[in-house]
Amino acid sequence: MPTRRAFLQSTLAVIALPAVGLSIVHSAIAARPLRFVIDGGCAVARRLADCAGATLAGDDVAVLIELLNRDEADAWIGLTRDAQRFIFETLARPRGFELRYAGTHDYRTGTLQHRVVGDLALIAPHTQALAAAGANWPTALLDYAALLSRSRTPGDSARITTATLRPPGSADYLTSWCWRRS
């Protein structure tokens, strides 16, 4: 089983969209290419990109559009603020992508509350990781990316309350998601 860094060292490039705050990490693992979209405008999400050893490759949303048009990735997994999620969704839907998993990660009440929607039985390891990982919770997206891409929405939802405080520089409301070609 490759380490997380090795997993993502198949990274080709990261496309950071500073104006929008999206970083895109390519991963060509196995026969199921996945892409990660990470919000460069949020410290928590940026640390995930650092963890991946990602490098900058471009800076406008037109690059994202091009990738979606010509890309063969089965699924895109993201950790972004909600407006950035909406941008991705708007580009993905007309290209035939369906939402497979959705999560919200909300620090606004003081401590972190997760809410996930999807096939809860399938993504149980991911949900458990969110609960147990504390401040490192975003890594659950990387660790369980394959599961998330096989999930389905609309599905059941689950709430997980933690004692994790918002790190400095982090957005207080984040979304995680997986869109997959139908």
Residues that bind other proteins (CB under 8 A): 17, 19-21, 41, 60-62, 65, 81-84, 86-87, 89-90, 92-94, 96-98, 104, 106-109, 171-173, 175, 182
Residue 1 in tokens:
């089983």
Work out how close the CB of 19 gets to other proteins at its nearest, in angstroms, rounded to a whole number: 4
The order of strands in the sheet holding 97-106 is 14-17, 22-27, 34-39, 75-80, 173-181, 97-106, 111-118, 156-165
CA distance 15 to 63: 8
Smallest distance, Å, CB 153 to other proteins? 12
CA within 13 Å, CB half, 12: 14
- Output 106 or 143, the one with its CB closest to other proteins: 106
For 63, other C-beta atoms within 10 Å of its C-beta total 17
Distance of CA 58 to the CA centre of its chain: 19
Closest by Cα among 52, 44, 46 to 18: 46
By DSSP bridging, strand 34-39 and strand 75-80 are parallel
Nearer to other proteins, 8 or 178 (CB): 178
Q: How far is the CB of 98 from other proteins (least distance, A)?
A: 5
Nearer to other proteins, 45 or 142 (CB): 45
Judged by CB, which is closer to other proteins: 2, or 96? 96
CB of 148 to other proteins, least distance (A): 17
Nearer to other proteins by C-beta: 25 or 171? Answer: 171
Q: State the minimum distance, in angstroms, from the CB of residue 17 to other proteins.
A: 8
